[in-house]
């Protein structure tokens, strides 16, 4: 028997056989994993597989996890005595071994293992950068086929590890991340691989939620505040869901961490909606031209999981959260501050989260003695580049306006090459 079931947040219906879907009765609500063991345990294996709250049974490959440590440098610079860093990246001296330098490895690992165990032959994945790199790497490690679709506008910022550079990748030449999602869904409809599913995939959310499990294993309590940059919001939702499980356990606190989520201005649709106390996003905040003005295109989806039941709006309501808009200059300054105080480089998205923490300190939204968890979602790229062989992504090109026949012909070409 499985150690989990899947339940609809809205109607409560439980499902035992489902890969990646909404409840058939409540298409506007997320499914959530319900684990039969209510006690948090981390004695199952190594890396992220040691956590029992994952929808997998017998992991078939290794996957390192989050490294959590108490900050001295950044904490001192900001006047915070209990700042903990959840570092997700490549930093061997700290024991951080994520070779793609991003916490997206956790979602990729759990999604692929879950798909394997569900008899899925392969997946189609859409990404603006980090997710593509993580899935390409884990596809190679696990020997599991994926087709990756990315926006052409992000190619200059994308790279793969050398050993995963041959993973089938398609670039949408005339579109952004959201257009890549649309094309990925079309490819999935034409081919025998399902679309990976984004936020509705329980394995994805639970994989990303392991960051808070690593933190609680280190501190033995839930943090007072949690900081993260968000694009779709999937990572923040995953942390919230894991926090709910930890509260039900009863040993780590009775109050959800206050969620502090940030986006890169001027493309910050969730920030704008939250500041206006709206569950609905506003079309003027989703304009594609705004994406060209931000430094973190990995945070640029026009389909964020905000309004859906169990999405970011509900996360913020439940946790008493705050949202922050961060301009590019603040991102760069925060990246420099982190490198100077902690001794390792971080990616721009992590700079958004660090800048949000600086705003919170300046605004008095956190106290010097509060236990704060800062999720550095990616770091160590410069360090990795000195030690590992990496390659630019060289994909096959397609238009978002391509016909089904053109997509089929492209897929045949891509798969023959690989």
Return the sign of the alpha-carbon dihedral for residues 218, 345, 342, 357.
negative
Chain segment 247-257, per-residue pLDDT in tens: 999 999 999 99
Place of tokens 């603006």: 128
Rounded-to-integer distance, Cα 12 and Cα 31, Å: 9
Chain segment 117-151, per-residue pLDDT in tens: 989 999 999 998 899 999 999 999 999 999 999 99
Statement to judge: residues 395 and 379 lie in one domain: no
**H helical segments located in 148-222:** 177-190, 202-208, 210-219
The answer as to whether 246 is a domain residue is: yes
Token duo for residue 245: 């499980």
The answer as to whether 72 is a domain residue is: yes
The answer as to whether 60 is a domain residue is: no
For residue 301, give the CATH number of its domain. 3.40.50.1100
- Domain limits at 208? 67-99+203-385
Statement to judge: residues 296 and 412 lie in one domain: no
Statement to judge: residues 237 and 372 lie in one domain: yes
pLDDT on residue 286: 97
Statement to judge: residues 324 and 357 lie in one domain: yes
Statement to judge: residues 228 and 297 lie in one domain: yes
| Mean of pLDDT values over 198-226 | 96
The answer as to whether 314 is a domain residue is: yes
Statement to judge: residues 249 and 364 lie in one domain: yes
Rounded-to-integer distance, Cα 147 and Cα 235, Å: 22
For β-strands 83-91 and 169-172, DSSP reports them as unpaired
Place of tokens 């999604």: 111
Rounded-to-integer distance, Cα 120 and Cα 146, Å: 11
Distance of CA 360 to the CA centre of its chain: 22
pLDDT band at 173 (very low <50, low <70, confident <90, very high): very high
Statement to judge: residues 146 and 289 lie in one domain: no
Chain segment 254-293, per-residue pLDDT in tens: 999 999 999 999 999 999 999 999 999 999 999 999 999 9
Q: Domain count of the chain? A: 2
Rounded-to-integer distance, Cα 287 and Cα 267, Å: 8
Statement to judge: residues 90 and 219 lie in one domain: yes
Statement to judge: residues 165 and 242 lie in one domain: no
3-state SS assignment for residue 374: strand
pTM of the model: 0.95
Beta bridge partners of 33: 6
Rounded-to-integer distance, Cα 145 and Cα 362, Å: 47
Statement to judge: residues 207 and 226 lie in one domain: yes
Q: Is the peptide bond preceding residue 266 cis, with omega within 30 degrees of 0? A: yes
The answer as to whether 39 is a domain residue is: no
Contacts of 277 (CB under 8 A, 6+ apart): none
Q: Highest mean pLDDT range out of 166-175, 278-287, 386-395? A: 278-287
Statement to judge: residues 152 and 241 lie in one domain: no
| Mean of pLDDT values over 212-241 | 98
The answer as to whether 26 is a domain residue is: no
């Amino acid at each position: 028997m499985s150690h989990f079931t899947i339940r609809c947040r809205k109607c409560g219906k439980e499902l035992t056989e489902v890969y990646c879907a909404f409840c058939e009765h409540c298409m506007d609500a997320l499914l959530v994993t319900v684990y039969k063991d209510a006690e948090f345990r981390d004695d199952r294996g190594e890396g992220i597989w040691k956590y029992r709250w994952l929808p997998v049974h017998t992991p078939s490959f290794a996957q390192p996890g989050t490294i959590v440590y108490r900050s001295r440098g950044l904490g001192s610079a900001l006047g915070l005595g209990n700042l903990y860093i959840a570092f997700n990246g490549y930093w061997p001296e700290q024991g951080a071994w994520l070779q793609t330098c991003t916490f997206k490895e956790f979602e990729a690992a759990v999604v692929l293992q879950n798909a394997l165990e569900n008899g899925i032959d392969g997946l189609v994945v859409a990404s603006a950068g980090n997710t593509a790199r993580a899935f390409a790497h884990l596809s190679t490690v696990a020997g599991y086929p994926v087709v990756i679709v990315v926006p052409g506008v992000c190619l200059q910022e994308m790279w793969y590890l050398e050993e995963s550079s041959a993973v089938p990748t398609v670039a949408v030449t005339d579109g952004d991340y959201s257009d890549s999602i649309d094309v990925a869904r079309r490819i999935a409809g034409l081919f025998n691989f399902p679309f990976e599913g984004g936020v509705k995939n329980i394995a994805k959310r639970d994989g990303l939620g392991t960051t808070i499990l690593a933190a609680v294993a280190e501190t033995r309590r839930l943090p007072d505040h949690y900081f993260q940059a968000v694009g779709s919001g999937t990572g923040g939702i995953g942390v919230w869901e894991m926090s709910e499980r930890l509260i039900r356990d009863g040993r780590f606190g009775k109050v959800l961490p206050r969620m502090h989520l940030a986006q890169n201005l001027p493309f910050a649709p969730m920030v704008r909606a939250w500041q206006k106390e709206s569950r609905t996003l506003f079309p003027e905040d989703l304009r594609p031209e705004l994406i060209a003005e931000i430094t973190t295109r990995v945070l640029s989806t026009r389909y964020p999981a905000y309004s859906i039941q169990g999405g970011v709006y509900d996360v913020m309501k439940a946790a008493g959260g705050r949202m922050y808009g961060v301009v590019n200059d603040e991102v760069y300054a925060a990246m420099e501050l982190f490198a100077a105080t902690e001794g390792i480089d971080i990616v721009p998205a992590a700079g958004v989260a660090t800048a949000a923490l600086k705003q919170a300190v300046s605004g008095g939204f956190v106290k010097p003695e509060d236990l704060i968890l800062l999720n550095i979602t990616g770091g160590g790229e410069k360090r990795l580049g000195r030690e590992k062989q990496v390659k630019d992504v060289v994909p096959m090109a397609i238009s978002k306006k391509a016909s089904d026949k053109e997509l089929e012909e492209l897929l045949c070409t891509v798969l023959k090459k690989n």
